[in-house]
């Protein structure tokens, strides 16, 4: 096990595209670090630089105490699970699992023992002699995982390993991964574009956008104290509401004209008209089983901005009625209109 350190890492692709702009990230030994961000923000690029599959055009990367910036992947002692799994199609599951050990010159007995252990842990024993093409999606995913585990590497890298699974399997495997991390105590860098996955898995979460790190923090901190408007919007579902600062001018910490008010749908309460901070017209009501998602339009005529509210299922709301909304004073977020920064 080892820590991973990125110091001012930059990557400019040969076509001039800048995919990483000065990444500074310290991943502690045994930490589960999740890189999250929208598609194309440079998460995979960052991960591939840690793996050695791309060479940074600036900065340093350290694994443990060793500067590996220009060390080829095979000498880094890392394991990676690819989004497409990249199982070797011409080898059986057993050979796939053994490949990394074989490349490192492990003895036959050791290979057998470790492959056996991993297969048992991942319930792959019955399919050991099949080729990847004869496996289900979930099994393939487990083989990819197994190929990483048998090696007992310093660092595990995951690039969206769950995105090819169906919703149910994804949730199950997510729990499996969390368990695995606890059992192995391994250092993991995990890339995803799914904020929910990031929040549930990460010891810490690093949010990226356009090659820049936006915020690195434990999940709950990210949720409670987003560093800027982008993080606030990206984290949490349904997404945070943003309103012009003037609407609740009396609560604004700064000049309300230059501030944006952010409030999560869960931090709003629907009350009878006139009893809340503002009145609004009910637009659409979506029952979601355990709760209602209510779309409102501010103003009694409903010509103001849209507001999403999560309400208890027993709340009496109907489309086209006027209701009141109450804002949770403790949970308001203010952002600078220009810079998007939290104020």
Partner 1 sequence: MLALLVLGSAFPLYWAILASFTPEARLFGGPSLLPSELVLDHYRALFTQRNFWIPIRNSLIVAGTTTAFCVAVGALCAYALARLQFRGKFALLGFILAVGMFPQISVVSPLYMLLRSLGLINTYPGLVLPYLTFAMPLTVWLLVGFFRQLPAELEEAAMVDGASRLRAFGEVIVPLALPGLATTAILTFVYSWNEFLFALSFTLGPERQTVPVAIALFRGMYQVPWGQILAAAVVATLPVTLLVLAFQRRIVQGLTAGAVKG
Ligand X SMILES: Nc1ncnc2c1ncn2[C@@H]1O[C@H](COP(=O)(O)OP(=O)(O)OP(=O)(O)O)[C@@H](O)[C@H]1O
Return residues touching ligand X (CB under 6 A). 13, 15, 17, 19, 37, 39-45, 193
Q: Count residues contacting partner 1 (CB under 8 A)?
A: 24
Does 192 interact with Mg ion (rule: CB under 5 A)?
no
**31/159 with CB nearer ligand X:** 159
| Token duo for residue 32 | 């589960």
Nearest distance, CB of residue 53 and Mg ion, angstroms: 12
Nearest distance, CB of residue 44 and partner 1, angstroms: 11
Work out which of 72, 185, 257, 287 binds partner 1, going by CB under 8 A. 72
Contact pattern from residue 81 through residue 120 relative to partner 1, giving x for each residue in contact according to CB under 8 A and a dash for the rest: -x-x-x-xxx--------xx--xx----------------
HEC string of the chain equals CCCEEEEEEEEECCCCCEEEEEEEEEECCCCEEEEECCCCCCHHHHHHHHHCCCCCCEEEEEECCEECCCCCHHHCCEEEECCCCCCCCCCCHHHHHHHHHHHCCCCHHHHHHHHHHHHHHCCCHHHCCCCHHHCCHHHHHHHHHHHHHCCCCCEEEEECCCCCCCHHHHHHHHHHHHHHHHHHCCEEEEEECCHHHHHHHCCEEEEEECCEEEEEECHHHHHHCCCEHHHHHHCCCCCCEEEEHHHHHHHCCCCHHHEEEEECHHHEEEECCCCCCEEEEEEEEEECCCCEEEEEEECCCCCCCEEEEEECCCCCCCCCCEEEEEECHHHCEEEECCCCEEC
Work out which of 19, 32, 36, 44 binds Mg ion, going by CB under 5 A. 44
Nearest distance, CB of residue 253 and Mg ion, angstroms: 38
Question: Which of Mg ion, ligand X, partner 1, none sits in contact with 40, Cβ below 5 to 8 A by type?
Answer: ligand X
Span from 37-45, 100-108, 136-144, 200-208 in contact with Mg ion (CB under 5 A): 37-45
Is residue 223 within 8 Å of 199, Cβ to Cβ?
Answer: yes
**36/263 with CB nearer Mg ion:** 36
**206/309 with CB nearer ligand X:** 206
Distance from C-alpha of 156 to C-alpha of 90, rounded to nearest angstrom: 24
Question: Which of Mg ion, partner 1, ligand X, none sits in contact with 45, Cβ below 5 to 8 A by type?
Answer: ligand X
Q: Which of residues 239-268 bind partner 1 (CB under 8 A)?
A: none
Is residue 286 within 8 Å of 298, Cβ to Cβ?
Answer: no
Question: Which of partner 1, ligand X, Mg ion, none sits in contact with 104, Cβ below 5 to 8 A by type?
Answer: partner 1
Is residue 152 within 8 Å of 158, Cβ to Cβ?
Answer: no
Contact pattern from residue 145 through residue 164 relative to partner 1, giving x for each residue in contact according to CB under 8 A and a dash for the rest: --x---x-----x-------
Contact pattern from residue 10 through residue 29 relative to partner 1, giving x for each residue in contact according to CB under 8 A and a dash for the rest: ----x---------------
Contact pattern from residue 129 through residue 148 relative to partner 1, giving x for each residue in contact according to CB under 8 A and a dash for the rest: ------------------x-
Q: Count residues contacting Mg ion (CB under 5 A)?
A: 1
Most distant CA pair in the chain, distance:
77
Residues that bind Mg ion in the complex, under the rule CB under 5 A: 44
Residues that bind partner 1 in the complex, under the rule CB under 8 A: 14, 51-53, 72-74, 76, 78-80, 82, 84, 86, 88-90, 99-100, 103-104, 147, 151, 157
């Amino acid at each position: 096990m080892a820590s991973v350190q990125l110091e001012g890492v930059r990557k400019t692709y040969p076509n001039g595209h800048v995919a990483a702009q000065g990444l500074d990230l310290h991943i502690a030994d045994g930490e589960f670090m999740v890189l999250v961000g929208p598609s194309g923000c440079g998460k995979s690029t960052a991960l591939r630089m840690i793996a050695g599959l791309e060479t940074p055009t600036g900065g340093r990367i350290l694994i443990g105490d060793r500067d590996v910036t220009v060390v080829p992947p095979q000498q880094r002692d890392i394991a990676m699970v690819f989004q497409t799994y990249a199982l070797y199609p011409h080898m059986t599951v057993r050979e796939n699992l053994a490949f990394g050990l074989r490349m490192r010159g492990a003895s036959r007995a050791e290979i057998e023992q470790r492959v056996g252990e991993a297969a048992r842990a991942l319930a792959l024993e019955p399919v050991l002699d099949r080729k990847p093409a004869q496996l289900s999606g979930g099994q393939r995913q487990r083989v990819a995982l197994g190929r990483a585990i048998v090696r007992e590497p310093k660092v595990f890298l995951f690039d969206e390993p769950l995105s090819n699974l169906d919703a149910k399997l994804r949730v199950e495997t997510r729990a499996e991964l969390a368990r695995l991390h606890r059992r192995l105590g391994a250092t993991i860098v995990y890339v995803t574009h799914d904020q929910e996955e990031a929040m549930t898995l990460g010891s810490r979460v690093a949010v990226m956008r356009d090659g820049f790190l936006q915020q690195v923090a434990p999940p709950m901190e990210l949720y409670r104290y987003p560093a800027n408007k982008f993080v606030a919007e990206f984290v949490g579902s349904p997404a945070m509401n943003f309103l012009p600062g003037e609407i609740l001018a009396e609560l604004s910490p700064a000049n309300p004209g230059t501030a944006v008010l952010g409030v999560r749908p869960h931090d709003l309460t629907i009350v009878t008209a006139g009893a809340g901070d503002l009145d609004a017209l009910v637009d659409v009501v979506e029952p979601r089983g355990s709760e209602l998602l209510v779309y409102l339009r501010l103003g009694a005529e409903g010509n103001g901005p849209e507001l999403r509210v999560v309400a208890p299922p027993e709340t009496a709301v109907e489309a086209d009625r006027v209701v009141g909304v109450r804002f949770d004073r403790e949970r308001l977020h203010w952002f600078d209109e220009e810079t998007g920064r939290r104020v």
